Structure 1
Amino acid sequence: MATYDPLRDLERLATTLMDGGRRGPRQMPMDLYRDGDHYVLAADLPGIDPGSVDVDVDGQLLTIRAERTLPAGEGVTWITRERAAGSYLRQLSLGQGIDTENISAHYRNGVLSVTIPVSEKAKPRKVQVLTEAENAPALQVTENA
């Protein structure tokens, strides 16, 4: 048997008034880290239908969209409804040095993982230092007949 907690009800009411009536897109929590020659973005999207997840790259702007719908059958009476339905949106400016042609994404266990490779031009490289002897033109030997 559940006990009555007026503070919990007040918290639910405040959450509903401040965020529950929200009409615009919600943000999704994410982590972003670099692993060698690529960045990895991991965004939490639990309960999202994978078919509603959309990842777009337009120039240097990465956009992630998703939609969560809650089932509502005919004659359903909600006892409690704490999971928010609606659209989710996250946009990131990629900046220079990203290989936008080879960005990939996969969705597993409620987490969207986006792999963002670093472009070849932006990768660190070793520059060879030449000495005078290596820079001098080779002597050519010609035979006189």
Structure 2
Amino acid sequence: MATRYDPFREMDRWLANTVRQTPPAPGMPLDLYREGEAFVAKVDLPGVDPSTIDIDVEDRTLTIRAERRQDEAENVQWLTHERPTGTFARQLALGHGLALDRIEAGYADGVLTLTIPVAEEAKPRKIQVAHTGTSTPVRTEEAATA
């Protein structure tokens, strides 16, 4: 049984060794899954102004930055202030075989969704066997002695 190529193998290893053993970045919890021929990352960014979201890829490292500003209300006496504010960043180490030039990003209802397609050259493909149309008879010992 052949194993299917998984370009996120390095990412899975990194997530298992790094992200899952440490708490997620404040204000940036992440879900990651494969859907067909693409990987999807969903990052919770509630209260973030979409214009502050910055995403870049360099040397197979995807970096997400976003800013949640503090409410600037006058005459406010805070009783509880638990929602983190400031600039947040999260990095993902991407494996080979991904179409880094075709990553798509969307932001809706406080969730940033990244779609990272598998590169065409990394997709499994079938190779057809050409049949020449000529057959060579197989000689058996019975036919040779007759």
Cα distance between partner residues in 2 of 1:99 and 1:27: 28
Contact 2:43 2:113 in 1 (8 A): yes
Structure 2 residue aligned with 1:20 = none
Matched with 2:110 is 110
The residue type paired with residue 52 of structure 2 is S
Report if the CA contact (8 A) 1:28-1:88 is conserved.
Answer: yes
Instruction: Give TM-score scaled by structure 2 length.
Output: 0.69
Query: What is the TM-score normalised by the length of structure 1?
Result: 0.69
- Provide the aligned C-alpha RMSD in A: 1.7
> Counterpart of 1:48?
48
Per-residue CA shift, 1:65-106, capped at 9, x if unaligned?
A: 111112123322112212111221111111110111110101
Between structure 1 and structure 2, the one with the greater Rg is 1
Give the C-alpha shift of residue 116 in structure 1: 0.3
Q: Which runs of 5+ in 2 are unaligned?
A: 1-24, 135-146
Aligned length, in residue pairs: 110
The residue matched to 1:133 in structure 2 has which SS? Answer: coil
- Secondary structure in structure 2 of the residue aligned to 1:64: strand
Q: Deviations over 1:5-64 (max 9, x none)?
A: xxxxxxxxxxxxxxxxxxxx7362111111111111001111111111111111311110
Identify unmatched segments of 5+ residues in structure 1: 1-24, 135-145
- One-letter code aligned to 1:59: D
Does the Cα contact within 8 Å between 2:48 and 2:67 map onto a contact in 1? yes
Choose 108-117 or 26-35, whichever is displaced more.
Answer: 26-35
- Between the two proteins, what is the percent identity of the paired residues? 50
State the secondary structure of the residue aligned to 1:101: helix
Mapped to 1, the partners of 2:73 and 2:127 lie a distance apart of 66
Counterpart residue number, 2:84: 84
CA distance in 2, matches of 1:30, 1:123: 26
